[in-house]
Each structure stands twice: as C-alpha cells, then as structure tokens.
Amino acid sequence: MSDVRARINSDGMNERPDADTCRIVDMPGKEVRPRRRSGGAWFGGAVLVLLAGGLGVGGWRHYQAAHDLAASVEQSRTAVPEVRVATVRAGGDLIKVTLPATTTAFEAANIFARASGYIEKRYVDIGDRVKKGDLLAEITAPELDQQIAQAQATLAQNQAALQQAEASRELAETTNSRDSNLVKQGWLTAQQGDNDRLTLRAQQAAVGVAQSNIAAQQAQIRVLQQEKAYQRVVAPFDGVITQRNVDNGSLVQAGSTFMFTLMHSDVIRTQVFVPQDEAFGVTPGIDAEVRVPEIPGRTFPGKVTRIATALQPVSRTLLTEIDVPNPDGALNPGIYCTVELSIPRKTPSTSVPADALIFDQNGLHVAVVRNGTVHMQKVSIARDFGTSIEVRDGVRPGDQVVLNPAVDLIEGSRVSIRSDEPSQGTQT
C-alpha cells in the first residue's frame, strides 16, 4: 500500500493534502495506515437490516395467508350451511282452472222468407226486442191468392165429380140387385147378370177415385194456405233483432232470402274448450264464473249445463257449455271472456313453490331435507301457477324442500334449516 506523506515546500510550509486523502502521522516503530470514513459502514448495515426485515415480514405474511387458506378450506369442508325451506302441501279438493271462452246467445235463428213476393211492411229493426209471435214483416204475393182460388175451384169440381160417381154407383147397385133375381129365375141371361155386377164394381171404383181427388185437392189448398200464412213473418221466440237484411219493397224468394237474425240473450251460453288433463273432472252442474275484461270487478256465476262427452282429436279438448243468467243484458253474444271452473280433483297431487325447482342435466327435481340431509327427488309438473307448481309425484305432503338451492348442493349434503321458514302461496 502506497503511503501518502506530507511534503514540505521549499519555504518550509506543509502542503495541504487532497480531500480524498487522510493525514498520516509517522509513529516510531509502526506502519502508518490510512483511516476510512465510518458513514459507509453504517449505511450498508442499515440496508442489510432493512432487507432482512422485509424478507421476514414477507415470509410471515405468506405463512399467515397459507394458514388462513387452509383454515378456510377446512371450515368450508366441515361447515353445515343454512337453507330456507318450504313445506310441501297437498292439493285441494277442487282445481281452479281459468280458460278463454266466447259468449253466444242461448237461442239464435236466421229467419228466411218462406213465401215469394215483396215486403209490404217491415215492423222491426236492429236492436228491437220482440216476443214470441210478434209480427216482423208482411209479404205480399197476389199470384198466391189466385192459386188458392184456382185450387178451391178445382176442389169444387172434384166434389161434383164425386156426387156424380156416387149417383152412378147407386144406379148400378139397384140394377144389379134387380137383375140378379131375374137371372136366377131364368128371365135374364147370365151375361146380363155379369154386366150388371161389373158395372157396379166400376162405379164403386169411380167413387173412390173422386174421393181421392178431393183429398189431394184439399191438401194442395192447405199447402197454399200455409204459404199464405208465411206472408206474415213472426218471431219464433223471445229475443233481440241483431241483423236485418230487407226493407219495404224488397223482393224475396221462398227458402233463399235471408231476412233477420233473432237472438235470445236473457241467458248467455258460453262455450269453452277444457284441456284433457282437467276434462276428466268436468260434469254438468259444476260451478263456473265468467269474467269480462271490459267489465272489471264483476263476475257472472253460472253452471256447466252440457259437455260434448268426446274430446276433439286435434286439440285434445272437451267442448263445454255454461249457461249464465243475463237478466239485465250486461253480457252480449259474441264477446271474449274468461271462465273459471271449479273442477273436482280426480287424482291426488301436491304443490311446491316455484323457487324450489331445480333443472339441470339430470332433469327436473327438488331438494328435500330429511334429518338434516339433502335428497334430490325427481318431480313431474301437472300445472304451473306462477309462484307455485303442482306436481304429480316425487314428494309427499309435509316434505321440506329447499328454496333457491345453491349450485353446489348435491345428494347427501348436510344442511341446517333456518327458523324463518316462509309460508307457501295460496293453494288452488
């Protein structure tokens, strides 16, 4: 190691050492060493201490995180989750089914002309209420009157022909009676006797023909008189005129001209198609309620009066008719309505909340809790009421099913039931 020594100038003064050197003092018998600054050592020591502290803190935190993770895993493995459950309820004795329907009149008839002619007078219009037998219109047909007069004259001719035939028969009877005795006595020939006998038989037949002609002519007159009666168009039952297609002076043809539509609306007949799963409980006499969206807050009670018995093969529905009294005329034929039927239940069923259903790759099922253990039970839906589901099998009344089950809930999971069990919705 090179030593830096103090140099003496020529004038005897000491030269000031550089800032990077230290003062060296010669000591007898010892080697002179340079002295370093103490600040660098302290700085290095502080860095080492900080580095060691950081490594210690990091190691502790890593250990603590690993410990907490292990504790969480162990806690999740051994913890028993709490679940909310609802009690499965048995279905009621009645099934409430609401279906769309259409109202029709209890009686409705399209009235056609039965006599040919012209409308002489129309007495009713759309919206008029009529009673059975009220006159709706009159048809005039002068040629029909002529046909009746001609038929009556022909009848008179037939009656005169009958009188003539009867007189000829009486003459033949008298002649035959007289000649038959003479033939027996030999005063007349047998030929004469045969002529008299056959003439009597012919006159008897002529009387029969005349009587038949009279009967036929009388029937023809009755037909014409009936056509004459059809000139007065009358109401077949009580009701309301809902359609008019003729006016005064209109030409009508018998059997083809449509004149009026008459509907009896004091009783409304409602037709509804009941699906197959409810149709087996539908019988005449069960209660029904009709509701119309345009008449809120009012129901129209009625009863099932007729069923088609056979289901329609395309839609698998049963045509059902319900008679609804309509004394105030609030219901009109041809409107849309809904019908609520109270159908007696034929098969037992249970109801569970819709929140309890689970649908996954295994199908549709619910989680039933028995003795703190979860059991997955497959179910089949009978009807969906929105907040509750009617199921046919898989659960029994009194079973407790988990509401909103977690995705990790599996068969055999241990759970605890929360005390605030919710009440199930109203049963139908």
DSSP string, 95-124: EEEEEEEEEEEEEEEEEE-SS-EEEEEE--
**Can you give the pLDDT at residue 427?**
42
The torsion angles phi and psi of 35, rounded to 5 degrees, stand at: -100, 125
| Residue 407 belongs to a domain | yes
In this predicted structure, what is the pLDDT of residue 6?
39
More confident residue, 306 or 180: 306
List, as one string, the DSSP characters of 56-74: HHHHHHHHHHHHHHHHHHH
Residues in the chain: 428
218 and 146 within one domain: yes
Q: Is the pLDDT of residue 7 over 50?
A: no
* 87 and 163 inside one domain: no
Q: By C-alpha distance, which of 423, 415, 323 is closest to 372?
A: 415
Residues 186, 220, single domain; the answer is yes
User: Residue 1: what pLDDT?
Assistant: 40
Q: Give the Cα separation of 103 and 330 in Å (integer).
A: 12
Q: What is the percent of the chain with per-residue pLDDT over 90, rounded to a whole number?
A: 29
> Which range of residues forms the domain containing residue 386?
82-91+348-417
Identify whether 105 is part of a domain. Answer: no
**Do 205 and 146 share a structural domain?**
yes
- Longest CA–CA separation in the chain, Å: 227
**How many structural domains compose the chain?**
2
**What is the distance between the alpha carbons of residues 61 and 166, in angstroms, rounded to a whole number?**
142
Instruction: Enumerate the H helices of 123-189 as residue ranges.
Output: 142-185
Report the distance separating Cα 98 and Cα 117, nearest Å.
Answer: 51
In angstroms, rounded to a whole number, what is the distance separating the alpha carbons of residues 93 and 428?
9
| 202 three-state secondary structure | helix
What's the average model confidence in pLDDT over 148-169?
Answer: 90
Domain boundary among 184, 208, 234: 234
Residue 104 counted as domain residue? no
Asked, for residue 354, whether it belongs to a domain, the answer is yes
251-257: average pLDDT: 91
pLDDT number for residue 2: 42
Task: State which of 187, 219, 234 marks the end of a domain.
Answer: 234
- In the prediction, which pLDDT does 22 show? 43
218-230 mean pLDDT:
90
Q: How far apart, in whole angstroms, are the C-alpha atoms of residue 82 and residue 150?
A: 103
Phi, psi for residue 291 in degrees, rounded to 5: -125, 140
Same domain, 175 and 87: no
Q: How far is CA 86 from CA 272, 348, 361, 381, 387, in A?
A: 36, 20, 24, 18, 13
pLDDT at residue 76, as a whole number: 56
Decide which of 179 and 13 is more confident.
Answer: 179
pLDDT in tens, 337-393: 999 998 887 777 788 888 888 888 878 888 888 888 888 888 888 777 788 888 878
Cβ 364 vs Cβ 379: under 8 Å: yes
Distance between CA atoms of 324 and 333, rounded to whole angstroms? 11
- Residues 160 and 86 both lie in one domain: no
pLDDT attached to residue 75: 54
Residues 360 and 407 placed together within one structural domain of the fold: yes
Quick one: 87 and 146 in the same domain?
no
Asked whether residue 406 is assigned to any structural domain, the reply reads yes
Residue 214's pLDDT is 92
Phi, psi of 130 (to 5 degrees): -130, 160
- Per-residue pLDDT of 259-277, as tens digits, reads 999 998 889 999 999 988 7
What band does 73 get if pLDDT is binned at 50, 70 and 90? low
Cα 342 to chain centroid distance, Å, stands at 15
From first CA to last CA, the distance across the chain in angstroms is 108
Last residue in a domain, options 205, 234, 263: 234
**Does residue 13 lie within any of the structural domains?**
no
Residues 87 and 128 in one domain: no
Residues 141, 87, single domain; the answer is: no
Calculate what percentage of the chain has a pLDDT beyond 70.
86
Q: Are 86 and 129 members of one domain?
A: no
CATH code assigned at 356: 2.40.420.20
Backbone conformation region of residue 177, classed left if phi is above 0, alpha if psi is from -120 to 50, else beta? alpha
Whether 216 is covered by a domain: the verdict is yes
Are 160 and 212 members of one domain? yes
Q: Is 178 a domain residue? A: yes
CA-CA-CA-CA dihedral for 328, 330, 331, 335, to nearest 10: 160
Integer Cα distance of 401 and 376 in angstroms: 10
